[in-house]
Structures are given as C-alpha cells and as structure tokens.
Structure 1
Amino acid sequence: MRPALCTLRGGGVLALLALVVQLAGCALPAREEPGALRAEVVARLGPPTATVPLSSGERLLYSELPAGFAAYTLDFDASGRLVRNEQVLTQTRFENIPVGVWTAADVQRTFGPPLRVERVARFEGDIWTYRFRQNSDPRLAHVHLDPQGVVRLVMFTDELPNFDNTRD
C-alpha cells in the first residue's frame, strides 16, 4: 500500500504543499510583540474570541478552545498599542484565582469562555472546565461557581485520552 501523498497527482501535491506553507506562516497570538497596533494585530489574527474593556485600554482574547490548549490575552493601551501579551491557560494562573472573591465575570475576562459548563450532584452551581497543558501533559481546570456566580473551588484533573471536548 502506498502512502496517501503518493496517490496525489500533479496539482494535488502542489495544493498540499501550498497548504502546508500557508499553515506554517499562520499568524499566532504568541508572536505579537509589544508596541504593535491593535488594527494591525486584528488584521493578522482575525476577530478575537472576546473583547474586554480595561481601565487603561482594551483586552483582546484569542482562545484555542475547544480543540487547543492555550488562550492569549493581548492588552492594548488607550492609544491602541500592545502593552502585554500573555498565554493565560496555565496551572499557575488557575491556582491564583482568588476563591471567594472572583466572580464568573472575572474568570471569563481572564480566561475566556470555558470549554464546557457542567453540573454535579455534590456541588450546587456551575463548573466551568478549561483545558491546558502542564509541561506536555494535557490537564483540565475545573472552576466551581456557586449560584451567585462566585468562585468557590478550583480543581485539577488529568485529561483522559478520549475526552470529548465537543459535548454540550
């Protein structure tokens, strides 16, 4: 049996190579440098997952969820210049959520929309789940929000190999 690439003819191979080159040159939020103009960043990256007003300007959030493991917050000053670019889906960031203080709005402003929202019998409220990587290991952060929307607990689990990230 021949590899699939060998079965492509002429233009098919060229099209595949063009696609690979295009994907390799894709704009990534991690590559955006301080000083970049907001309009130029949006032109390169496309529309953000979320836009959050800040007292000093604006935050654009680019999330790779549900399939990926990263979310980037790009903070712009009042003149529209990038001042900070941070990948926020990290164990450390989740561990530092102020339990009993932060609300659902704080969580969403920082991490973006969750991978999924679930409920369990032992907790009254929603559990927002985010996926991330710790070193190279896929992990899940579970942010427990009480009925008033206040964070009550943050737990971590390893992501199972067949985790269904498309379920509603």
Structure 2
Amino acid sequence: MGPRTLQRTALLAMALALMSACTVLAPVQTGEALIGQPASTVEARFGKPPEQYARADGGTRWLYPTQPYGQFTYAADFDASGKLVSFRQILTTMDFAQIRVGTSTQKDVLQTFGKPEETAYFRLMDRQVWSYRFKHEGVWPSLMNFYFDRDGVVRLTQVSPDPMYDHDHDSSR
C-alpha cells in the first residue's frame, strides 16, 4: 500500500468515526427538540417504538433500543396527557444505579431499560441474569448484569467487560 492509499484510508476512518459520533448524539438532540409535543409527532419522527411500558405516574415510556450489538437505548417519556416530557439515552451508569438490590424487580428493570440483550440462568446460584450492553462511565464497553432470585427480586448487580470488545483475547494460545 502506498502513502496516498494509507492517507486516504486514515481520512476515511476518521470521517466514519466522526459520523458515528454524530449518530449517537443526533437522536437525543432531535428528541429533546420535540419535548412538549404529542406522541404522534414523536412517532412520525422516530417510528413506532419497539417497546412501550406504562409508568407509575400515568404516563408511558417508549423505548428505541439498539441491541443486540448497540450500547444505547433511547427512552421517550410521556406524561398522562400524551405529551413528551423527556427523551434521552438510558443505558448509563447513573440510570443503572437507580435499581436497588433487594427492592427492585424484573418488572422494574424491564419497564426502565426494556428487554435485556441476553439472559442466562446460573443453576448453582439459582439466579436468572439479564444483561445489557452499554458504555460504563460513557467510555468502556461493558455489560450490566442484574441477578434475580426466584421471586424476580434483584439480588446482585454487576458490571463486567463486554467480551465482544475483548481484542486482547487470542484463542490460539
């Protein structure tokens, strides 16, 4: 590969990185500009939400996940009259911290974050585990794991590195 080809490749990679950064921010900015608008306006802009959940205040939460490989889920929260009151990315360290061990349930986690990226059952622990791909502290590719007992109560939370991004692992060793 010649120097010009390398330079073009580097410029293309930089452009793609900048475009993907804009893509991450654009839904939030677009959604925030719609605050106060009816649900029909939000649906016209973002499409029918893949997930909808009732909120305790009488409103509704619409979720637009990017799972299974994305690290973002956008939440559009509506008040009881159907007006948009909030639009934001919710798979964050701060949002996950609102789930309380010993108190929060599977229903709480589902209604807050939507369907998990993956689920597993650990027989020896007798725990159902739901995992969500996200960027821990906004930087590190990670999985947030919620461990539930038989009654569906959160008994443990755990942040672990996302194995999908483990480029140091060499299976030939």
Shorter chain as denominator, the TM-score bin is 0.7 to 0.9
- Aligned with 1:141 (options 120, 124, 144): 144
Number of residue-to-residue matches in the alignment: 143
Aligned to 1:154: 157
**Separation in 2 of the partners of 1:39 and 1:29?**
17
Matched position secondary structure for 2:126: strand
**Separation in 1 of the partners of 2:142 and 2:162?**
5
**Separation in 2 of the partners of 1:41 and 1:96?**
26
Q: Would the aligned equivalents of 1:138 and 1:159 in 2 still touch at CA under 8 Å?
A: yes
TM-score of the superposed pair, with normalisation by structure 2: 0.73
- Aligned with 1:94 (options 86, 93, 96): 96
Is residue 44 of structure 2 the alignment partner of residue 57 of structure 1? no
Aligned to 1:107: 109
**Separation in 1 of the partners of 2:156 and 2:93?**
14
Matched position secondary structure for 1:89: coil
Aligned to 2:41: 40
CA distance 1:86–1:29, change in 2 (3 Å)? closer
Which whole-Å deviations, capped at 9, do the CAs of 1:49-92 have from their partners, x for residues lacking one?
Answer: 21112233211111111121111221112322111123211112
Q: Which AA in structure 2 matches 1:76?
A: F
Structure 2: tracts of 5 or more residues without a match: 6-18, 168-173
CA distance 1:29–1:62, change in 2 (3 Å)? farther
Q: Would the aligned equivalents of 1:95 and 1:154 in 2 still touch at CA under 8 Å?
A: no
**Separation in 1 of the partners of 2:82 and 2:73?**
20
Which whole-Å deviations, capped at 9, do the CAs of 1:23-52 have from their partners, x for residues lacking one?
Answer: x7xx73552121122101111111112111
**Separation in 2 of the partners of 1:141 and 1:94?**
8
Q: Would the aligned equivalents of 1:30 and 1:72 in 2 still touch at CA under 8 Å?
A: no
Identity %: 35
Which of structure 1's runs of 4+ aligned residues deviate more than 3 A?
none
Determine which structure has the larger helix proportion and give its number: 2
CA distance 1:30–1:124, change in 2 (3 Å)? farther
- Aligned with 1:72 (options 50, 71, 74): 74
Q: Would the aligned equivalents of 2:103 and 2:154 in 1 still touch at CA under 8 Å?
A: yes
Matched position secondary structure for 1:109: helix
Which whole-Å deviations, capped at 9, do the CAs of 1:79-110 have from their partners, x for residues lacking one?
Answer: 22111123211112222311111110000000
Which whole-Å deviations, capped at 9, do the CAs of 1:106-139 have from their partners, x for residues lacking one?
Answer: 0000010000001224421210000101232201
**Separation in 2 of the partners of 1:37 and 1:113?**
25
**Separation in 2 of the partners of 1:29 and 1:93?**
16
